[in-house]
Amino acid sequence: MTIKLVVDREKIESQAQIADLCPFQAIEFDGADYSISAACKMCRLCEINGPPGAFTFVEETQWSREQGEWSGIAIFAEQSSDGIHPVVLELLGKARELAAQYPQPIFMLLIGNNLESSAEMLTRYGVDELYLFDHPQLEDFRIEPYAAVFETFLHRTRPAVVLVGATPIGRSLAPRLAARFRTGLTADCTELQIQAECGLIQIRPAFGGNIMARIATPQHRPQFATVRYKVMTEAKPVQNGKTKIYSLPIDPSWLLSGIQVLQTTRRGRQEDITDAEVLVVAGRGVVSAKDLSILEELANALEGQLAATRPMVEKGWLDIKRHIGLSGRTVKPKLIITCGVSGAIQFAAGILNSECIVAINNDPEAPIFQVANFGLVGDLYEIVPLLTKTLQSTRRSLS
């Protein structure tokens, strides 16, 4: 609880005066004194409507917690448009790795509407306890109901570690809960390690990736971390896993919200190249506009986007938003494949922070090979379609 309620007996004239004050009947009278029971939802109606000064909310400033009471790893199983968000299996993969080092239970929280199939899917992946909060009004993400459910789940499971995907929803929800529990949160972790006493070591890039920071939350529980998508290794299904499923009732007060979702539009991947994790770049080696389609096919196979150098944009072959370079956008994808790009410094400056640079060019002397991690010397018209084909057949062979 972040706040607590203080009752001033002197300000209450009669029991009748406060009889109907609390919609949850949380105000108890033992004949001599008033107290607040656990039914209190902190709605503050007693403070607002009660006798002046009788009920006051006071901020609790107890910051340190007994570490021992908190154990286990909790995972927020975010729902996306087509079932469980893939980052959840990655979090689970990491959690199982950590739990193998220091044995502890793995709890999972599933919030939404019609959760049966998602729940069924998760039981195959080695979760110890799965908590479902299933309600039509939890279909859309709204912060107050989701935070209220999450809070209830954490009080019930008391985990030492809470892992949340660094998605837009995760990055909105995790800090809200971390503040509610007055504890630490490390955003966008790229690596997690565990120590004795369930101490979590969180590693994340700082200052735009120029530095890595190693962060601990020594005195507080639970320890919250959000983790980037596509960083950890997905959990594999387990044979005869035993998942206990708890489907918990929803308290109507949790659903109160100042937010109304008027409309939801599902859509595909991000359209901005600066957000893309994979980019395929067209350079002057692409000789006609219609040939861009072979690059586009490669981009699709990689679930990435198409970008271009300045000359391609100037010719009007691609939208200016897709221009990479000093006069265009600077990008930092995980993977960038340049096709027929010579690699002038104006362009190279825009891609240098990419995690992996692949260059395809038929000129072995092209400056792009100075910055590429993998330089493929050859004709893009031959290599690119073969690459697409290899990706597609690799995917098929695994499914």
Partner 1 sequence: MTMEIVVCIKQVPDTAKIEVDETTGTLKREGAEVKMNPFDLSAIETALQIREATGGTVWVISMGPTQAAQVLREAFMMGADRGVLLCDPRFAGSDTLATSYTLALGIRTAVKNPQLIICGKQTTDGDTGQVGPEIAEFLQIPHVCNVSRLVEAREHALALMVDLQEMLQKVQVECPCLITVEKDIFPPRLPSFRKREEARHKLIDVLGCSDLETGDPGCFGLQGSPTHVEKMFPPVVDKPREIWTGTGIDLAERLVDRLQRMKLWLPRDH
Q: Residue 53, exposed/middle/buried by CB under 10 A (0-12, 13-18, 19+)?
A: exposed
Cα gap 117→110, rounded to integer Å? 11
What track of x and - describes contact with partner 1 for positions 321 through 360 (by CB under 8 A)?
Answer: -------------xx-------------------xx-x--
Give the shortest CB-15-to-partner 1 separation in angstroms: 29
Among 31, 52, 316, 364, binds partner 1 (CB under 8 A): 364
Residue 362 near partner 1 by CB under 8 A: no
Phi, then psi, of 244 in degrees rounded to 5: -85, 130
Interaction with partner 1 in 279-298: which residues (CB under 8 A)? none
Nearer to partner 1, 110 or 187 (CB): 187
Instruction: Specify the residue, 106 or 336, whose C-beta has the smaller distance to partner 1.
Output: 336
With beta carbons less than 8 A apart as the criterion, state whether 295 and 306 touch: yes
User: Counting Cβ atoms within 10 Å, is residue 385 exposed (0-12), middle (13-18) or buried (19+)?
Assistant: middle
Return the residues of window 194-213 that contact partner 1 according to CB under 8 A. Answer: 201-202, 205-213
Amino acid making up residue 169: I
Is there binding between residue 390 and partner 1 (CB under 8 A)?
yes
* Nearest distance from C-beta of residue 186 to partner 1, angstroms: 6
Stretch of 107-115, 130-138, 239-247, 256-264 lying at the interface with partner 1 (CB under 8 A): 256-264
CA end-to-end span of the chain:
47
Closest approach of partner 1 to the CB of residue 290, in Å: 21
Query: 191 has which bridge partners?
Result: 203
Rounded to 10 deg, the angle between the 143-157 and 168-180 helix axes is: 60
Determine the distance from the C-alpha atom of residue 262 to the mean position of all C-alpha atoms in its chain, rounded to a whole number: 23
**Contact positions with partner 1 (CB under 8 A) in 42-101:** 59, 61, 63, 80-82, 86
- Does 6 bind partner 1 (CB under 8 A)? Our answer is no
Binding to partner 1 by residue 140, rule CB under 8 A? Answer: yes
| Shortest reach from residue 242's CB to partner 1, in Å | 26
Size, binding site for partner 1 by CB under 8 A: 96
DSSP state string for 106-144: EEEEEEESS-HHHHHHHGGG--SEEEEEE-GGGSS--HH
Closer of 123 and 353 to partner 1 (Cβ): 353
Q: Does 118 bind partner 1 (CB under 8 A)?
A: no
DSSP, collapsed to helix, strand or coil, labels residue 285 as coil
